Amino acid sequence: DIVMTQTPLSSPVTLGQPASISCRSSESLVNSDGNTYLSWLHQRPGQPPRLLIYKVSDRFSGVPDRFSGSGAGTDFTLKISRVEAEDVGVYFCMQSTQFPRTFGGGTKVEIK
């Protein structure tokens, strides 16, 4: 199975400031169809994970444009341009290039 490693484990941020989360996969996530299936999920306490970004950089419906994804191959980044209070929670990266889906361990974003 592909191993997904996220850093940092925790990210205290100031409201209105940017935040960045990294995710590295144990092997390339480029699929045989040419697409790279790397997603980012956000989870608030007591809630299910919510899809933010798929295929590295495509924002899911309704996701604010302060969220952006980038990267290629094995290294990926999620950026929040200006953190808002509703952005707190845990962020996960997930690969869907290869079965089974595998997930990063999560990065907790909290307000300083």
Partner 1 sequence: EVQLVESGGDLIRPGGSLRLSCTASGFTVNNYYMSWVRQTPARGLECISILYSDGTNTYYADSVRGRFTISRDNSKNTLYLQMNSLRAEDTAVYYCTRLGAFDIWGQGTVVTVSS
Instruction: Give the span between the Cα atoms of 30 and 74, in whole angstroms.
Output: 9
- Report, in Å, the least distance between residue 69 CB and partner 1: 12
Nearest to 20 by CA among 28, 11, 9, 30: 11
- Report, in Å, the least distance between residue 30 CB and partner 1: 15
- 63 sits in the region (left: phi over 0; alpha: psi -120 to 50; else beta) called beta
Residue among 16 and 62 whose Cβ is closer to partner 1: 62
- Report, in Å, the least distance between residue 16 CB and partner 1: 29
Query: Would you tell me which residues interact with partner 1 (CB under 8 A)?
Result: 35, 37, 39, 48-51, 54-55, 58, 60, 92, 94, 96, 99-103, 105-106
Residue among 31 and 77 whose Cβ is closer to partner 1: 31
Instruction: Give the span between the Cα atoms of 57 and 26, in whole angstroms.
Output: 20
